Structure 1
Amino acid sequence: MTAEPIPTPTLDRMKSAGSWNPLWDTLSQWDPEWTEQFMAMNATPVQRGVFTPEFVELLSIAIDAAATHLYAPGVRRHIRAALELGVSKEEILTVLEMVSVLGIHACNLGVPILAEELDAYESRRPAH
């Protein structure tokens, strides 16, 4: 007995709009019901229309460009959409500059450790 296919209108809409990430293919194949519900929930804030389309694109650029995500196809898609909506180069650049701050934590963590380890290394080395 073959199960009826699970309807996935949100996933279908994302695929036809070009906003589908192929990294989600396996998840969608293995559990289409969960993936549909997740993507529908994820789309709800945008569909409510609280933010302007321009702001949604800038926010999407920030999310996709963030060091924790780094999804280049999404950055490209949302930059293209933002430009089409009239968002300026300067506004997009400012968002990219702001989101780059997320990566500074590598220095906040790493530089003090480097200083400690250099001090420890230098104290173990024989004097010349």
Structure 2
Amino acid sequence: MDGDTNQTKPRTALFRPAVPTLKAFSPGDDFTLWAVRAKTHLQDTPPEHLGRYLLPLLDDDAARQFLATGVPILSGPDIIWPALEELFARYELAPAFLENVLERRQHLAESVDEYEACLRALATKAYPKASK
């Protein structure tokens, strides 16, 4: 009988590097830097599940603003990432967006729902830290 009766796993199988947790994005944060980290963090996530894993990575204010855009949470990355970028990448231009909200009028061919969605998107950019 062999002196080493314990079956041991290879040393590499026992070592698992710690996966750093990603800080939730807040509307005042640097979106570009956060997006790079989030994309790296979520790189193995199936595209159809991206929204489910991404929503918890937004703080409450950011999640409310994103959900207010009307982008379905089950959308793919080609829809979700541009929507997030449009919403948060230019938050420093809030005064310009406020002016757009105040000057925006409903177009003749625009439905009330379309007009409301446009105002909501402009308002979330004008008031990035406001919560509903």
Q: TM-score range by the shorter chain?
A: 0.3 to 0.5
- TM normalised by structure 1 equals 0.34
Higher helix share: 1
- TM normalised by structure 2 equals 0.33
Q: Which has the higher contact order (CA 8 A, sep 6+)?
A: 2
